[in-house]
């Protein structure tokens, strides 16, 4: 009997084709794009803004996971806005081996609120690289009292975004805030380095506002303002293994600028070294009417080295004199301080300056030992209630916790 092998081969070929097609759908082939292919130059003087935007547009249009490569060299870019609302929503990874630098004339990017912005993106990750906003000349303008100094641009901003990873990025010399997350969810920041001069105004290292499930770990931050600042509407934040200094410490707030304002809750700050900063762990609120709040906050396993205000709650925060003669309406409750040791650069190592209208409640301190150089440290306490166990300096507004075995 004779078999027609061609009749057998055709169905087999169709089966193999289906297998390949199904496999490709289940495991999309990643795409790699190099900004050099879109006209970017590595000389630090040729404007590569359009090249970066073109690479993003190509990645955005891809249904496959895409990696944008920024190779070694210095890439000059102006204001960049990466839009995500029309993307295919496949993951986009940006791997930076070199430096991305802003124009030397600070006015070029200072006319915008941000230098590099991601809006409405999902599943975006940034690995490595240096962002240099060259903000020194703007700092000098502001510090000299110039009347025509712009506010400045934030270096890297994510707005309305989800599932964001930043790993190994270095941000230096920002005009204003370095890294900002606004109205974003599921953010992981690891191994970041942030650096600006101690006299650089408003150069917060990492700022989180109206965002949820944010993890900031294993990072070194030294700036002229807060190392990490947490604004209204932020929930479920985890901050661990941070070196902070110089700067204004890690701050929740300022809260209560507006009467109708979301609160902050579920924040854990753990394993932090503060070195020469003007504050350590701080909660600050405006002295005015507000429906905002801060609750369920944990500060633990912290070392202070010559910190001006190691532990501070300031509910009479005010930038310009005269300050409004009102009590803060922000409710602060369930704040825990555990295993905090080190040195204060001032006599008052613990300051709990709470509101008469809404006293702080549920303040708990365990295993706190702060000393002032060459003299005993003190605590200042107003309108705060809670418990203390093994706390130095003695904090009179907190009752001694009785521990039974």
- Round to whole Å and give the CA distance between 157 and 9: 56
Distances 281 to 156, 267, 313, 334 between C-alpha atoms, Å: 24, 12, 8, 15
Residues near 259 by Cβ (< 8 Å), separated by ≥ 6?
Answer: 288, 289, 290, 291, 329
Check: CB of residue 304 under 8 Å from CB of residue 344: yes
- Round to whole Å and give the CA distance between 136 and 106: 9
* CA 324 from centre of chain: 30
Whether residue 248 lies in the annotated active site: yes
Q: Cα 231–237–241 angle (5° rounding)?
A: 110
Structure tokens at 279: 């504050």
Residues pairing with 165 in the sheet: 125, 188
- Round to whole Å and give the CA distance between 380 and 382: 7
Choice among 248, 301, 316, 341 that is catalytic: 248
Active site residues: 248
């Amino acid at each position: 009997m004779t078999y027609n092998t061609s009749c057998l081969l055709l169905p087999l070929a169709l089966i193999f084709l289906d297998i390949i097609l199904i496999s490709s759908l289940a495991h999309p082939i990643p795409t790699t794009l190099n900004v050099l292919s879109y006209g970017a130059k590595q000389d630090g003087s040729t404007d590569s803004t359009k090249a970066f935007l073109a690479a993003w547009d190509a990645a955005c249009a891809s249904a496959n996971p895409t990696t944008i490569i920024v190779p070694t060299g210095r890439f000059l870019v102006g204001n960049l806005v990466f839009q995500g609302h029309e993307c295919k929503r496949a993951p986009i990874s940006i791997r930076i081996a070199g430096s991305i630098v802003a124009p030397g004339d600070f006015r070029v990017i200072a006319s915008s609120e941000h230098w590099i912005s991601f809006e409405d993106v999902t599943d975006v990750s940034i690995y490595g690289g240096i962002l240099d906003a060259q903000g020194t000349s703007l700092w000098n303008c502001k510090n000299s009292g110039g009347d025509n100094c712009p506010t400045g641009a934030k270096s890297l901003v994510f707005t309305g975004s989800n599932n964001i990873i930043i790993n190994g990025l270095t941000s230096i010399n920002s005009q204003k805030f370095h890294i900002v997350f606004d109205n974003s969810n599921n953010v992981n920041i690891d191994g970041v380095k942030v650096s600006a001069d101690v006299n650089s105004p408003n150069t917060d290292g990492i700022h989180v506002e109206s965002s949820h499930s944010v993890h900031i770990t294993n990072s070194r931050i030294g700036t002229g303002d807060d190392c990490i600042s947490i604004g209204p509407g932020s929930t479920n934040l985890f901050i661990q293994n941070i070196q902070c200094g110089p700067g204004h410490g890690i701050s929740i707030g300022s809260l209560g600028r507006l009467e109708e304002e979301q609160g902050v809750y579920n924040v854990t700050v753990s394993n932090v070294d503060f070195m020469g900063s003007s504050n350590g762990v701080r909660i600050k609120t405006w002295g005015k009417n507000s429906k905002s709040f801060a609750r369920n906050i944990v500060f633990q396993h912290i070392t202070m080295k010559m910190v001006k205000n190691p532990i501070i709650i300031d509910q009479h925060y005010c930038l310009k004199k005269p300050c409004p003669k009102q009590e803060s309406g922000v409710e602060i409750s369930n704040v825990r301080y555990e295993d905090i040791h080190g040195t204060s650069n001032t006599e008052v190592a613990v300051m709990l300056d709470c509101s008469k209208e809404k006293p702080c409640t549920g303040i708990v301190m365990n295993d706190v030992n702060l000393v002032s150089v060459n003299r005993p440290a003190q605590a200042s306490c107003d309108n705060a209630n809670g418990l203390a166990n093994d706390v130095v300096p003695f904090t009179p507004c907190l009752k001694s916790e009785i521990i039974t075995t």
